[in-house]
Amino acid sequence: MLTDQHGRELRYLRFSVTDRCNLRCFYCQGMTKVVSHKDILRYEDIEKLLVVAQRLGFKKVRLTGGEPFLRRNFFDFLERLSKKFSELDFRITTNGTLINDDNLLSKLKALGIKGLNVSLDTFSRDTFEKITGKDLLHNVVDTIYMGLDLGLRIKVNVVALKGINDQELKQFIDLACLFPVDVRFIEFMPIGDKTIWKKEYYWSAEDILKNIKEMVPLIPIEHGQNSGPAKIFEIKDGRGRIGVISPLSNHFCAECNRLRFTSQGRLRPCLFSDKEFNLLGLLRSPKITLERLEKVITLIAQNKPMGFHLLKMYQNKVCSTTMVSIGG
């Protein structure tokens, strides 16, 4: 098992398969320039990295974007992964606008994809368009319900925005009460120099939980070894669960078990740090061996920083890179 300088066992790897997205969420995009296709990780590059990841003991892999289903031949790629890396637990994060189709979702399940994280910040059509720039709320909602009908494990990621979606808290709770879905509220982070972040938008995890507990009783769940950063609660007499992710108010750095690869092949050890290591040239070198690649990744991973120190240093500014460039 790969362990960093702080004794954290690294088990969770994230790949951004594209920097492109069909939505323009104001908290994610900023003024990002689209990267040339030749400078994006090829599927073959990702497969090579996954071979190394297995050797290093990684167990869970998340494929993100941008919007991963915008990438050409993405389903074919998933099929290759399911056959070649059957021991890895693959998950996908999506905005849910491109797969609201029974056939596509059934195909995902057949490929062995266990989990789908779907971004949904509002149930209001007008608010959805205000946040994303597109009138596609119905696509996302269809994806969630169709996925649940097919037995996919669905997690709904909600960026908590005071004054924008805080009045819809009961609707999200009702979703988790009525359906076997995890609804997870994520504190709005000041990521990216050009991303719109306002202090008045900030809605802390503590306040969110306080408001939820006034509506339904919550039962805390023990944090698992391969769990992500969310604190999860069961709802008494509910079918689903509630979670909060608190990168600003109550950091989870001591338990962070992940590494990220951006779509440009940059290894980013910590979300809160703009320090990245460009491995694209190394990956494509005809002279590179898997052993050498393993040593490079191990060295970078061992020096993974403790992110909350960076938060204190830069007065709660997370990083200057936009989220879509990092991989959501």
Query: For 281-310, how does the pLDDT look when each residue is reduced to its tens digit (9 = 90+)?
Result: 999 999 999 999 999 999 999 999 886 555
Give the mean model confidence (pLDDT) for residues 34-44. 88
User: Is the pLDDT reported for residue 234 higher than 70?
Assistant: yes
According to DSSP, the residues that pair with 94 across neighbouring strands are 118
Cα 289 from chain centre: 30
Give the domain CATH number at 210.
Answer: 3.20.20.70
Binning pLDDT at 50, 70 and 90, where does residue 318 land? low
In a domain, 7, yes or no: no
In a domain, 260, yes or no: yes
* Domain interval for residue 137: 12-326
Cβ-based neighbours of 1, under 8 Å, separated by 6 or more: 9, 10, 11, 56, 57
Cα 174 from chain centre: 23
In a domain, 99, yes or no: yes
In a domain, 125, yes or no: yes
The pLDDT tens digits for 134-182 are: 999 999 999 999 999 999 999 999 999 999 999 999 999 999 999 999 9
What stretches of 143-282 adopt beta strand conformation (E)? 153-160, 182-187, 218-220, 231-235, 241-245, 258-261, 266-268, 277-278
Whole-prediction pTM value?
0.91
Can you give the pLDDT at residue 196? 61
3-class SS of residue 241: strand
In a domain, 231, yes or no: yes
* Opening angle at CA 19, ends 107 and 56, nearest 5: 70
User: Is the pLDDT reported for residue 30 higher than 60?
Assistant: no
Binning pLDDT at 50, 70 and 90, where does residue 222 land? confident
In a domain, 23, yes or no: yes
Amino acid at position 15, single letter: F
In a domain, 6, yes or no: no
Task: Work out the mean pLDDT of the chain and round it to a whole number.
Answer: 89
Strands laid side by side in the 182-187 sheet: 218-220, 231-235, 241-245, 182-187, 153-160, 115-119, 89-94, 60-64, 12-16, 258-261, 266-268, 277-278
Query: With helix as H, strand as E and coil as C, how does 22-36 read?
Result: CCCCCCCCCCCCCCC
Binning pLDDT at 50, 70 and 90, where does residue 81 land? very high
Only one residue has tokens 């920097």, namely: 19
User: Is the pLDDT reported for residue 271 higher than 70?
Assistant: yes
In a domain, 296, yes or no: yes
3-class SS of residue 278: strand
Can you give the pLDDT at residue 225? 58
Looking at the 3D structure of the chain, how many domains does it have? 1
